[in-house]
Amino acid sequence: MEEVSSIMKDLFSFLIFPGFIFTAAIGLVASWIDRKVTARVQWRVGPPWYQPLADLVKLSIKEITIPKNASKAVFLSAPLFGLSAAVLAATFIWQANIQAGSSGFTGDTVVVLYLLTLPAIALMLGSSASGNPLASLGVSREIKLMLAYELPFIISITVPIIKSSGLLRVTDLIAFQAMNGVFVSNVSGILAIIVAIFCMQAKLGLVPFDMAEAETEIMGGIYIEYSGILLAVLKLTKTIMMVALPVFLTSIFWGGFSAWKYVILLVVIILMRNTNPRVRIDQAIRFFWYRMTSLAIIAVLLAMLGF
């Protein structure tokens, strides 16, 4: 009986609060803020508040088209795979913030890092299964971009772990910051969160790192063959990542989630996206491997020296 109730509790936290529905609701509001601020920056009025929800409902009534050359099983299942990974990551991150000290397991920071990588991998699998040449071009760009941003992202995530002398649970990191002050008050923490914000932009696939999608150039790239509810699932995954990643960064660098910290990170993302043109893939790789990785290594060295 106790096992059943604990399974029900886990299902509830995965599907409703703080998992799928809660995160999706926040993500839809965040993506509306994104579109509205973008419109205001461009001196336009922008869409009404329910626009992201209307898009999703509309996509869910559309026909699902499957290309003739597609590998059907992979093409159809990849979006669901990515969505469930993103929701699981979001659930872990929220749990660590809500039930401080009692949730999580040793090493859940590493698990969250893996889970945050899975949506991109699922998207690559699905769109390379579609058999479209432009999709495969988008996939090759996404793979290169992922190789570029994962290295500095993981190095920058090691900074809080070094500073807390080896804590690997997100709740422990939050508790450590509550005792000893947030990591962004140190030089090494500031450098690490700058690197992590750039990597977050690339993980979300937003301008200037949207060359895998590149609507004006390769017509949607990795999304090109997806239609109907599969496209809605992909959009939903993106909006959930838009919540999970900033909350993860505030948890491990900035002493835990709060609404104003999330809004600050969101505004940084939106302004970066509106004030930059798309970079080429070689420029992005050079940026992440040379500049951001060196910055992250400097941050790690400073953290080891105690700054």
Partner 1 sequence: MSLKLKALTKSIWVYHMSTGSCNNCDIEILDLLTPRFDVERFGITLVGSIRHADAILVTGALNLKTIPRIKNIYDQAPKPCFVIAIGACACGQGIFAKGPNTPEPVDSILPVDAYIPGCPPKPEAMIAAIVKLIEKLRGKK
| Secondary structure element (H or E) that encloses residue 231, with its range | helix 228-253
- For partner 1, the closer CB: 119 or 220: 220
Cα 36 from Cα 29, distance rounded (Å): 10
Can you tell me which residue has the tokens 């995965």? 14
Q: Which is nearer to partner 1, 27 or 152 (CB)?
A: 27
Minimum CB–partner distance for residue 13 and partner 1 (Å): 28
Q: Which of 158, 248, 232 is nearest to 200 (CA)?
A: 248
CA distance 23 to 28: 9
| Locus of tokens 């050359």 | 69
Q: How many CB atoms lie within 10 A of CB 107?
A: 10
Nearer to partner 1 (CB atom), residue 62 or residue 291? 62
Q: Report the amino acid identity of residue 243.
A: V
State how far the Cα of 8 lies from the Cα of 23, in Å rounded to an integer. 19
Residue 225 in contact with residue 199, Cβ under 8 Å? Answer: no
Nearest to 234 by CA among 83, 132, 89, 128: 83
Nearer to partner 1, 41 or 113 (CB): 41
Nearer Cβ to partner 1 (123/231): 231
Q: Which is nearer to partner 1, 1 or 61 (CB)?
A: 61
- Give the pair of three-digit tokens for residue 273: 């996206």
Cα angle 104, 264, 247 (rounded to 5 degrees) comes to 15
Residue 217 CB-density burial (10 A; 0-12 exposed, 13-18 middle, 19+ buried):
middle
Q: Which is nearer to partner 1, 48 or 277 (CB)?
A: 48
Nearer to partner 1, 58 or 280 (CB): 58
Q: How far is the CB of 72 from partner 1 (least distance, A)?
A: 16
Q: Are 64 and 229 in contact (CB under 8 A)?
A: yes
SS3 label, residue 156: helix
Contacting positions for partner 1 (CB under 8 A): 35, 39, 42-48, 50-51, 53-55, 57-58, 60-65, 215-216, 218-220, 223-228, 231
Work out the number of other CB atoms within 10 angstroms of the CB of residue 4. 8
Shortest Å, Cβ 46 to partner 1: 6
Least Å distance, CB 62 to partner 1, is 5
Q: Are 154 and 113 a contacting pair, CB within 8 Å? A: yes
